[in-house]
Amino acid sequence: MVATLTSTPPSFLPLWRRKLPTFNPTQCLGTGKEALEISSNGYIKTNTTGFPEKGISTRPGTSSTPRPPRPRRIILVRHGESEGNVDETVYTRVPDPKIDLTEKGKAEAEECGWRIREMIEKDGANDWKVYFYVSPYKRTLETLRYLGLAFERSRISGMREEPRIREQDFGNFQDREKMRLDKALRLRYGRFFYRFPNGESAADVYDRITGFRETLKADIDIGRFQPPGEQSPNVNLIIVSHGLALRVFLMRWYKWTVEQFEGLNNMGNGKLIVMQKGYGGRYFFSPKWTHTHTHA
């Protein structure tokens, strides 16, 4: 399902009308005295000895140590509009990981955050929280910063920077004309298997996304985003990444074929797809892709 914004929160003002608070993704629960300690895996520690794995059985299903509840939903977010989305020549002079969001992209990211919050609040739960996985590219970190403005510190249970969900590698500084030729060759060869010179194919991305999926599954199984002693079913995972990486993630999760992948395009900048927990703990979504974009 794709969430839509049905109302604008009273506090939601255009970016140019208000000063934004500092939102540092690696310390997303505040700074100074307000900051909580975040471990290397992004888990927020309320004490110096607690670990999410502690006390959880290695044999899920035993009556004495029940398995942690699965997150209510997994939300996939594509970064807001970047400078590279509006001007491909940027790639010839700026490294892909360092490309910024545009002002429009920042607004898209913030609006996306409010969409997510509105959707979560409709559940009617009081103990809901969000946990973020984010690509280390500048445009995704900026997206997280603006998206995060919709959530108080107490609602953010943690964050992990995850290199395996980064953008497909198209090579280093990209020659514009050569890139156009390479993309034309990709259409002839096949979008999944064509490997860019000095870069990656979608099949290569599939391999690293497979590793990330296994990590995500382990995190879910041990309840890594649950504070020690809590077993809330109202945690929402938010993955902030890139168009192709998110398509490959869905392909890997739902075991789609290469042919099915070839028929997909990117979701729009600042848009989201929701994987909702259903019967038996399985995640489903409505295959509705909006504002498709074919940069990747």
Query: Does 79 belong to an annotated binding site?
Result: yes
Could you tell me which residues come within 8 angstroms of residue 280 by beta carbon, excluding any fewer than 6 positions away?
none
167 flagged as catalytic: yes
172 is in an annotated binding site: no
Tell whether 84 is in a known binding site. yes
Among 79, 108, 111, 200, which one carries the catalytic annotation?
79
Estimate to the nearest angstrom the gap between the alpha carbon of 177 and the chain centroid.
Answer: 31
Residue 223 labelled as part of a binding site: no
Backbone angles phi, psi at 83, to 5 degrees: -60, -30
Q: Which of 212, 209, 227, 237 is nearest to 70 (CA)?
A: 237
The span from the CA of 231 to the CA of 68, in Å, is: 6
Report whether 23 contacts 145 (CB < 8 A).
yes
Nearest to 258 by CA among 181, 193, 199: 193
List the one residue out of 250, 262, 246 whose CA is nearest residue 194: 262
Q: Is 81 annotated among the ligand-binding residues? A: yes
State yes or no: 154 annotated in a binding site.
no
Q: Is 295 a catalytic residue?
A: no
The answer to whether the annotation marks 85 as part of a ligand binding site is yes
Tokens of 208: 């690293």
Is 57 annotated among the ligand-binding residues? no
Candidate list 108, 167, 200, 242, residue with the active-site label: 167
DSSP state of 105: H
80 labelled binding-site residue: yes
Q: Annotated active-site positions, please?
A: 79, 167
> What are the binding residues for substrate?
78-85, 139, 178
> What are the binding residues?
78-85, 139, 178
